[in-house]
Structure 1
Amino acid sequence: MSAVNDPQIWTLIGVFAAVMLGGMTLMTTLINRAMAAGFAAVDAKFEAVYVKLDHLDRDVSALMRREFGMPDS
């Protein structure tokens, strides 16, 4: 049985720690990018809804002006 003070064991411990830290960093970065892309897609969909609502408001206002004889603002 080898002792813990052998250089090879400390090298393996260092390599394992570096691999674990690198893997956690990679996963954190990928999850962060995926979440940002998802939020951007949701924001784009909300913007599309806002544009449709603005157009609907404009169309309803135009119909009201035409039907009720309201002056243009």
Structure 2
Amino acid sequence: MSDAQTWTVIGVLGAAFLGTLTIVSTLFVHIVRSEVRRLEGTFGARFDAMDRDIQALMRHTFGIDRGE
């Protein structure tokens, strides 16, 4: 291989590597964001349920309505 062919191969492989790295990092960020959104929804629902339980206990035990 001549010098020009060697540098062409190096350039093509470098571009392919950077392209692959970009795609993988973009997909990784997308997956992490979707998992965080899913966890926020799960914990939000659990906290809402817990808040309803606390309000029921307050009404039952002390006759206090914390105002919904």
Q: TM-score range by the shorter chain?
A: 0.7 to 0.9
Counterpart residue number, 2:17: 20
Higher relative contact order (CA 8 A, sep 6+): 2
TM-score normalised to structure 2 length: 0.81
- The answer as to 2:56 corresponding to 1:59 is yes
Contiguous gaps of at least 5 residues in structure 1:
none
Q: What letter is aligned with 2:59?
A: A
Match of 1:36 among 33, 36, 45: 33
CA RMSD across the alignment: 1.9
> Residue 57 and residue 72 in structure 1: after superposition, are their counterparts in 2 closer, same or farther (change >3 A)?
closer
Q: Percent identity?
A: 24
Which secondary structure state, in structure 2, belongs to the residue aligned with residue 19 of structure 1?
helix
* Aligned match for 2:42, one of 38, 45, 63: 45
Larger Rg belongs to? 1
